[in-house]
């Protein structure tokens, strides 16, 4: 490999270690971001498909989740390449460590964007239009951290955008429950990315990156707690609008206990505990999805 920020020579072949660094740049070795994107997508696919999503839509949307999350990580690290070397948790990322050049990162991002476009072309016109908006949100988020005090709102809008896309691809429209689920994901992203930012607050203050953890200050735990309440209420309302029953609401209650555990972890604002809480967050989405599947699976025959 190479030292510093230099790229490969033109005649240097792509080797296994280079491909590994590309995989790390796409964060394929840390799939939590995929799970955080995937679970709400699956909520939407199952509800839009009345428990039986179309296989072709399922495959395209799920593949799009993986590709767009990877592209988002690449453009995020490109945008943060001057900040990440100064943050303890991110200084070993491939761009920050000089293991991948900025030019290589841009080429990789374009390649992933082209794959995403090819996937979107398999869907209907409404889904394609929504995909364009999702792409803009994905590219915009990393740069919002310099100008917006709550960049997590942009992240939440981007992470939740697969929800209206799933409804559009499955049914040709986005009903009210689809937008409510999207709003629920925005709130959920505010929760888990604020927790994530709480782990990095000192470093972010030092390098000048904005976040809700900084914006909320000493009220961070209180505000996250309120957002957790709002999330559960929004998902309960969405379940009612979708006609879900006891299996869903019982599982939502179980998922709420996971939020309480995360709330306990962040109470002391200790960075390692906050990061543990963030890594735990995706389990909430998994349990909610389990409730959706169980509800459709054991629905009484009519």
Q: How is the chain split into domains, by residue range?
A: 18-295
* CA–CA distance, 232 with 238 (Å, rounded to integer): 10
Has residue 173 got a pLDDT over 70? yes
Candidate CATH numbers 1.20.140.160, 1.10.357.140, 3.40.50.150, 2.40.30.170; the one for domain 18-295: 1.10.357.140
Has residue 8 got a pLDDT over 60? no
Backbone angles phi, psi at 77, to 5 degrees: -70, -30
- For Cα atoms 196, 29, 167, give the angle at the middle one, nearest 5 degrees: 70
* Digit-coded pLDDT (tens) for 191-248: 999 999 999 888 888 888 889 999 999 999 999 999 999 999 999 999 999 999 999 9
**pLDDT (0 to 100) of residue 302:** 60
pLDDT bin (cut points 50, 70, 90) of residue 21 is very high
Cα atoms in the 13 Å half-sphere on the side-chain side of 101: 11
* Digit-coded pLDDT (tens) for 101-156: 999 999 999 999 999 999 999 999 999 999 999 999 999 988 888 888 899 999 99
Has residue 286 got a pLDDT over 70? yes
Instruction: Report DSSP letters for 231-292, one per residue.
Output: HHHHHHHHHHHTT--HHHHHHHHHHHHHHHHHHHHHTT--HHHHHHHHHHTHHHHHHHHHHH
Q: Write down the pTM of the prediction.
A: 0.89
Q: Which long-range contacts (CB under 8 A, 24 or more apart) does 121-124 make?
A: 122/56, 122/60, 123/57, 123/60, 123/165, 123/168, 123/169, 124/168, 124/169, 124/172
Longest dimension (CA), the chain: 67
Those residues with Cβ within 8 angstroms of residue 30's Cβ, 6 or more apart along the chain or in another chain: none
């Amino acid at each position: 490999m190479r030292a510093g920020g230099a790229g490969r020579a033109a005649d240097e072949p792509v080797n296994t270690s280079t491909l590994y660094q590309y995989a790390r740049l796409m964060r394929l070795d840390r799939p939590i971001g995929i799970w955080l994107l995937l679970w709400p997508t699956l909520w939407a696919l199952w509800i839009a498909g009345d428990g039986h999503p179309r296989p072709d839509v399922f495959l395209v949307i799920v593949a799009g989740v993986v590709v767009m999350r990877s592209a988002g990580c690449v453009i995020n690290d490109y945008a943060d390449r001057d900040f990440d070397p100064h943050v303890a948790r991110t200084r070993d990322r491939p761009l920050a460590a000089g293991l991948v050049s900025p030019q290589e990162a841009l080429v990789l991002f374009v390649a992933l964007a082209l794959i995403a476009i090819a996937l979107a072309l398999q869907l209907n016109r409404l889904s394609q239009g929504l995909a364009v908006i999702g792409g803009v949100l994905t590219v915009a988020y990393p740069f919002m951290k310099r100008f917006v005090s709550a960049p997590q709102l942009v992240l939440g809008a981007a992470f939740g955008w697969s929800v209206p896309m799933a409804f559009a691809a499955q049914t040709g429209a986005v009903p009210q429950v689809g937008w409510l689920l999207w709003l629920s994901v925005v709130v959920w992203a505010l929760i888990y990315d604020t927790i994530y930012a709480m782990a990095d607050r000192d470093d972010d203050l030092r390098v000048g990156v904005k976040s809700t953890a900084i914006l909320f200050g000493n009220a961070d735990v209180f505000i996250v707690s309120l957002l957790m309440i709002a999330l559960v209420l929004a998902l309960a309302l969405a379940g009612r609008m979708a006609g879900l029953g006891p299996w869903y609401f019982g599982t939502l209650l179980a998922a709420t206990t996971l939020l309480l555990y995360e709330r306990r972890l962040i109470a002391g604002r200790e960075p390692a505990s906050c990061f543990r809480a963030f890594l735990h967050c995706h389990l909430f989405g998994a349990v909610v999805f389990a409730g959706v599947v169980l509800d459709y699976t054991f629905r009484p025959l009519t």
